[in-house]
Amino acid sequence: MSGGNAGEANERNGGNAGEGSGGYGGNGIEVEGLVREFKKGPRAVDGIDLRVKPGEIYGFLGPNGAGKSTTVHMLTTLLPPTAGTARVAGHDIIKEGPAVRDAIGVALQEAALDPFLTAHEHMRLQAGMHGIPKAEARRRGERLIERVGLSEAADRKVGGYSGGMKRRLDLALALVHEPRILFLDEPTTGLDVQSRTALWDEVGRLASSHGVTVFLTTQYLEEADALADRVGIIDDGRIVAEGTPDVLKAEIGRPTVEAAPAEADALERMGAVLERFGQRSPAPQGSAAVRLDAGTGELAEVVRALDAAKIRVANLEIHAPTLDDVFLAKTGKHLEGSADSAAPPTGELEALPA
Amino acid sequence: MSALARTRFARAAWVIAWRQLHRMVIKPTTFLLPSVLMPIFFFVAFAGGLSAVGDAPNFDYPNYTTFQYVFVLMQSAVFGGVFAGFSVAADFESGFVRRMMVATQTRSAMIAGYAIAALGRAILVWVVVTVVALISGAEVSGGAGDLLSIAIIAVFLNIAALLFACGIAMRLRSLQAAPLIQLPAFLLIMTAPVYVPRDLIEGWVHTVSDVNPMTAMLEAGRELIIGDPARTLAAIAIAAGLIAVTVVWARTGLRRAEAAG
Amino acid sequence: MSQIGYLAQRSLTRTLRQPAVVVSSMIFPLFLLAVNASGLSAATDLPDFPTDSYLTFALGLTFMQGALFATMGAGQAIAQDIQGGFFNRLQLTPLRGPALIVGQLSGVALQGAFQAVTYLLVGIAFGADLEAGIAGALLLLALAMLVAVAFGSLGLALGLRTGNGEAVQGAFPLLFVLLFLSSGALPRDLIANDWFQAITTVNPVSYIIEAFRSLLISGWDGEALALGFGCALAVLAAGTFAATAALRTRMART
Ligand SMILES: Nc1ncnc2c1ncn2[C@@H]1O[C@H](COP(=O)(O)OP(=O)(O)O)[C@@H](O)[C@H]1O
Ligand SMILES: [Mg+2]
């Protein structure tokens, strides 16, 4: 039995390594003109092109209903595209489904687990479905369960797990066949801060020390910002912006200044002064805000101008641009879960919705 | 399929079957008891309550308990497949099917897995039903070959029912499939010679039972169990034919499910 | 009174708005009737079988079966009300417990009558006898309504106690056991198994079916009718008692 296993392992890995080594072959993702139309629904994905380099963490950021899950389903061979093509790990998602499935690990948005099975039993099931022999499955299962910190709960039925534990188990399950590319669909939605950072650490480690390519979808700017090497922003089935978080923010460029007058009746005058420095942008009750135009001066200049107008200032803040500003600039909308239009588009306020 | 692909297929099918069998052990009241109790109940109600029917003039089968024992065997073969179809539908609803679809290299391993589990449960049900039937006076006088033939017919019927149920579940992909699986199975069973031999049935049920494939299997089973086989090969051929048709039905269902995501 | 009317109307319109439920509770008993009438006709050749039309004989079981469907309907409806919060809103009104029960059951009674008329018409159209004549038909309808209400009250009690549609659904097989372990398929004295005969003798459903059957097969049989109505009333008393108790517990809890 053990001899057979070794040969098998060779065929599994060797078979993959040889193919598609050109371009992004090995561990990359190449997507061209991907479209998915649902019969009684919208054009959920409307012509997407993207490339993910081997070992990269790609963050797919967009509001609810943008088409993130539909894209993931197509790339993981769960859903055939209406048009377009994609190669995942060098294999065509339409013609070479089995080879793609061998190379990828997937944790879907709904971590469908069996409430009657324990973590160990899930491992056994998942490994078996990938065709991994039992002894090998047990070894890998132990290791992965320990790695995601579920050793103590590993013999309890999953029905009693918390949301965070289920996500961690789902991640561990996705890794059981040592995939080279990992798809995570909103892995931290609904998690508490602690579980979220733990998961970020784990994903970061997978990419940096194991060379796993990660395709991750999220509704949270903060997550894309913190985790992704590169971000694609998707809205209504189209990618509206793409690049590293820093470059994207730099494109939007200018920071926002927000100020509140000490006397409420001075608000209008204050707004007028601020408008000399840029375009008005939404602000909370009792404050005014502008996005500074390129070429205008620094915060000090704004202060001087307000002073000259004899407006006493109660509060003055400057906000660096966030990915929500990028989203706003490209789509005219805020991201889901971010502050509503009356509030300023600041990173702090958008983080961690309850 | 290469030898390796076959091994992997078998492993995947086995763990999927194992999951189903495992829950019968973990939660027998939900996942096992109904499928055991239902045939026992029918056996009691029919063999016990209707035994006088065996005394009707022209009822030429020797033993009414045996007559109903064979019916319940075949009925539990069908309902074993039906119950497994409910599991498939429930797994679509919970999203578990996606986990299987993305993990199995060859997706028909899913169907194979459900089929193995359904067969495993059916065998258990058959054992229980047989014990109950023997205790209550069913007469088994067929030889080993006859009994083997009955087993083959029942196993084929079970697999065909499962494939039919899978085909529906994979087309509807929700628990709304349940009545649509159950109703045809029920119609098939009830329009066969359930209570009396076919020539004693009057009216439209007689006409329907002439063309009902269940009839051939029931009649062959009833002949075999008393060691008086006449139409065994025909029954096995019909059962195999049902499998051939339902395999296509289940596979196209799987294709539909794959296309719908 | 208007409260009762409102609840009865609501219970009925809701039933009618689910054609799948109405149709299946219509069709299924009729299908079984058709299968049994044809498949078990050989039983009429047994010595001492009371009629030579098995269809007439089996019709008694059909009326009983329809009533059992009404039971499930009533239990499901109240469970849905509880799960959906309608029940909580009701509690804020000055509605009294008995009114709630009577209102729900009136809807069940109407459904039961509607089903019974259908079964009777279909049965007669296919040649079933009705020995007791028009007056007998009216009495038969009265019994059908009473039985629907009686078993409906059991369903109501179950729904009120569990507050869960699935739990009510889970009780369905139990009702089938009552139905099958009765004298529904053969006259009691022709049941050959001693123990099966013993079960059917203590099963109240047997007597209700026999009362229906007496009107169809033998005309006016005071004893059979008294037993049938008596059993139905006993079930009604038990069901109403259980439903009232369950309602009181639920009211106290919320
Ligand atoms: N099976 C389906 N049938 C019809 N419409 C669908 C289906 N799946 C998703 N959609 C629609 O496609 C759009 C994109 O959905 P999805 O990819 O789930 O978005 P996201 O994951 O970004 O929230 C939504 O409008 C959604 O309602
Ligand atoms: Mg999604």
Dihedral class, residue C219 (left if φ above 0, else alpha if ψ from -120 to 50, else beta): left
Q: Which protein residue has the closest C-alpha to ligand 1 atom 7?
A: A38
Q: Which protein residue has the closest C-alpha to ligand 1 atom 12?
A: A44
Q: Tell which wins on pLDDT, C2 or B28.
A: B28
Q: What distance in Å separates the CA atoms of residue A347 and residue A331, rounded to the nearest whole number?
A: 18
Q: Which protein residue has the closest C-alpha to ligand 1 atom 25?
A: A65
Same domain, A245 and A259: no
Quote the tokens at residue A247: 């470059």
CA dihedral over B57, B60, B62, B64, signed as positive or negative: negative
CA separation (Å) from C81 to B197, C75, C153, C156, C243? Answer: 48, 10, 16, 11, 15
Report the SS3 class of residue A233. strand
DSSP H helices, chain C, are 2-16, 19-39, 54-84, 86-92, 97-125, 133-162, 165-170, 172-180, 194-202, 204-217, 222-253
pLDDT for A183 equals 98
Same domain, A307 and A241: no
Residue B149 CA to its chain's centroid (Å)? 15
Residues 112-151 of A with CB under 8 A from B: 112, 114, 116-117, 121, 124-133
Tell whether B251 is within 8 A of chain A (Cβ): no
- Give the pLDDT mean for B181-203: 92
Quote the tokens at residue C70: 């009404």
Contact A176, A126 (CB under 8 A): yes
pLDDT for B195 equals 94
A67 lines ligand 1 (CB under 6 A): yes
CA distance C55 to chain B (A): 11
Same domain, A18 and A84: yes
Q: Which of A35, A36, A38, A68 to mutate to test the pocket of ligand 1 (most atoms within 8 A of CB)?
A: A38
A110 lines ligand 1 (CB under 6 A): no
A73 lines ligand 1 (CB under 6 A): no
| For the CA of A66, the nearest atom of ligand 1 | 22
Could you write out the DSSP letters of every residue in A284-348?
-TT-EEEEEPTT---HHHHHHHHHHTT--EEEEEEE---HHHHHHHHHSSPPTTS--TTS---HH
| For the CA of A237, the nearest atom of ligand 1 | 14
Lowest mean pLDDT segment, chosen from A162-166, A275-279, B152-156, C245-249:
A275-279
Q: Tell which wins on pLDDT, A59 or A7.
A: A59
**Domain for residue A200, yes or no?**
yes
pLDDT at A345 over 50: no
Quote the tokens at residue C14: 């809701």
Residues 6+ apart with CB under 8 A from A149: A168, A198
Lowest mean pLDDT segment, chosen from A46-60, A286-300, A314-328:
A286-300
A69 lines ligand 1 (CB under 6 A): yes
Q: Which protein residue has the closest C-alpha to ligand 1 atom 27?
A: A65
Contacts of A77 in chain B (CB under 8 A): 101-102
pLDDT at C208 over 90: yes
Q: What distance in Å separates the CA atoms of residue A292 and residue A299, rounded to the nearest whole number?
A: 9
**Domain for residue A94, yes or no?**
yes
Quote the tokens at residue A16: 């993959």
Contact C56, C123 (CB under 8 A): yes
CA distance A130 to chain B (A): 6
Same domain, A85 and A197: yes
- Give the pLDDT mean for A205-216: 93
What is the domain range of residue A300?
254-320
Q: What distance in Å separates the CA atoms of residue A164 and residue A141, rounded to the nearest whole number?
A: 19
Contact A226, A220 (CB under 8 A): no
**Mean of the per-residue pLDDT values of chain C:** 87
- The last residue of one of the domains, among A215, A249, A283, is A249
Nearest CA to A87 out of A24, A16, A178 is that of: A24
Same domain, A232 and A258: no
Axis-axis angle for helices B33-43, B64-94 (nearest 10): 150
Note whether C192 contacts B51, CB cutoff 8 Å: yes
Nearest CA to B187 out of A260, A44, C93, C32 is that of: C32
Nearest to B26 among A98, A108, A116 (CB): A116
For ligand 2, a single-atom ion, the residues with CB < 5 A are A 68-69, 109
pLDDT for A353 equals 37
Q: What distance in Å separates the CA atoms of residue B98 and residue C97, rounded to the nearest whole number?
A: 48
Contacts of A8 in chain B (CB under 8 A): 4, 7
Q: What distance in Å separates the CA atoms of residue A21 and residue A32, rounded to the nearest whole number?
A: 18
Residues 6+ apart with CB under 8 A from B206: B198, C38
Q: Which protein residue has the closest C-alpha to ligand 1 atom 16?
A: A67
Same domain, A192 and A205: yes
Model confidence at C163, pLDDT cuts 50, 70, 90, reads: confident
| For the CA of A73, the nearest atom of ligand 1 | 17
Residues 53-112 of B with CB under 8 A from A: 94-96, 98-106, 109
pLDDT for A19 equals 40
Number of domain units in chain C: 1
**Domain for residue A351, yes or no?**
no
pLDDT by residue (tens digit) across A173-187?
999 999 999 999 999
pLDDT for A338 equals 46
Same domain, A28 and A133: yes
CA dihedral over B72, B77, B80, B86, signed as positive or negative: negative
Contacts of B34 in chain C (CB under 8 A): 173
Place of tokens 């139409």: B231
Same domain, A310 and A214: no
Q: What distance in Å separates the CA atoms of residue A260 and residue A344, rounded to the nearest whole number?
A: 12
Same domain, A114 and A94: yes
- Give the pLDDT mean for C71-100: 77
Could you write out the DSSP letters of every residue in B76-109?
HHHHHHHHHHHHHHHHHHHTHHHHHHHH-SSTHH
Same domain, A243 and A163: yes
The residue in chain B having the minimum alpha-carbon distance to the alpha carbon of residue A75 is B102
A70 lines ligand 1 (CB under 6 A): yes
CA separation (Å) from A243 to A59, A228, A323, B74? Answer: 10, 10, 11, 64
Contact A57, A204 (CB under 8 A): yes
pLDDT for A25 equals 56
Q: What distance in Å separates the CA atoms of residue C180 and residue C197, rounded to the nearest whole number?
A: 12
Give buried/exposed letters for A237-260 (b at 16+ CB in 10 A, else e): bbbbbbeebeebbeebebbbbbbb
Model confidence at B162, pLDDT cuts 50, 70, 90, reads: very high
Note whether B53 contacts C177, CB cutoff 8 Å: no
Q: What distance in Å separates the CA atoms of residue B225 and residue A32, rounded to the nearest whole number?
A: 64
Q: How many CB atoms are closer than 10 A to CB C188?
A: 14
Q: Is B9 exposed, middle or buried (0-12, 13-18, 19+ CB in 10 A)?
A: buried
- The last residue of one of the domains, among A200, A226, A249, is A249
Find the ligand nearest to A66 CA. Answer: 1
A68 lines ligand 1 (CB under 6 A): yes
CA distance C242 to chain B (A): 26
What is the domain range of residue C131?
2-253
Tell whether A101 is within 8 A of chain B (Cβ): yes
Contacts of A116 in chain B (CB under 8 A): 22-23, 26-27
Cα-based angle C80, C178, C194 (whole degrees, multiple of 5): 170
- Give the pLDDT mean for C225-240: 96
pLDDT for B141 equals 93
CA distance B204 to chain A (A): 43
Place of tokens 């329809």: C66
pLDDT for B1 equals 76
**Domain for residue A31, yes or no?**
yes
Q: Tell which wins on pLDDT, A72 or C27.
A: A72
Number of domain units in chain A: 2
Note whether B52 contacts C191, CB cutoff 8 Å: yes
pLDDT for A10 equals 39
A166 lines ligand 1 (CB under 6 A): no
Q: What distance in Å separates the CA atoms of residue C11 and residue C105, rounded to the nearest whole number?
A: 8
**Domain for residue A212, yes or no?**
yes
Chains that touch B (3 or more CB pairs under 8 A): A, C
pLDDT at B166 over 70: yes
- Give the pLDDT mean for B135-160: 96
A62 lines ligand 1 (CB under 6 A): yes
Axis-axis angle for helices B96-103, A119-129 (nearest 10): 40
- Best residue of C23, C38, C169, C179 to probe chain B, by most B CBs closer than 10 Å: C38
Distance from the CA of A186 to the center of ligand 2, in angstroms?
7
% chain C with pLDDT above 70: 95
**Domain for residue A333, yes or no?**
no
pLDDT for A245 equals 86
Q: What distance in Å separates the CA atoms of residue A232 and residue A314, rounded to the nearest whole number?
A: 39
Nearest to C35 among B38, B56, B190 (CB): B190
pLDDT by residue (tens digit) across A219-253?
988 898 889 999 999 999 999 999 998 888 777 66
Distance from the CA of A48 to the center of ligand 1, in angstroms?
15
Same domain, A167 and A235: yes
Residues 6+ apart with CB under 8 A from C144: C63, C66, C67, C112, C113, C115, C116, C212
pLDDT for C21 equals 65
Contacts of B106 in chain A (CB under 8 A): 98
**Domain for residue A327, yes or no?**
no
A243 lines ligand 1 (CB under 6 A): no
Report the SS3 class of residue A37. strand
pLDDT by residue (tens digit) across A54-99?
999 999 999 999 999 999 999 999 999 999 999 999 999 999 999 9
Same domain, A220 and A275: no
The residue in chain A having the minimum alpha-carbon distance to the alpha carbon of residue B14 is A128
> Going edge to edge, which strands form the sheet with A57-61?
A104-107, A181-185, A213-218, A57-61, A230-235, A238-243
Q: Does this model's pTM top 0.80?
A: yes
Nearest CA to C121 out of C178, C62, C172 is that of: C62
pLDDT at C104 over 90: no
- The last residue of one of the domains, among A223, A249, A275, is A249
Contact A335, A223 (CB under 8 A): no
Note whether B44 contacts C181, CB cutoff 8 Å: yes
Q: How many CB atoms are closer than 10 A to CB A353?
A: 13
CATH of the domain at A299: 3.30.70.980
- Best residue of B64, B135, B190 to probe chain C, by most C CBs closer than 10 Å: B190
pLDDT for A252 equals 67
Model confidence at A11, pLDDT cuts 50, 70, 90, reads: very low
Contacts of B257 in chain A (CB under 8 A): none
Q: What distance in Å separates the CA atoms of residue B217 and residue C134, rounded to the nearest whole number?
A: 46
pLDDT for A22 equals 42
CATH of the domain at A137: 3.40.50.300
Q: What distance in Å separates the CA atoms of residue A268 and residue B148, rounded to the nearest whole number?
A: 94
Host H or E run for residue C193: none
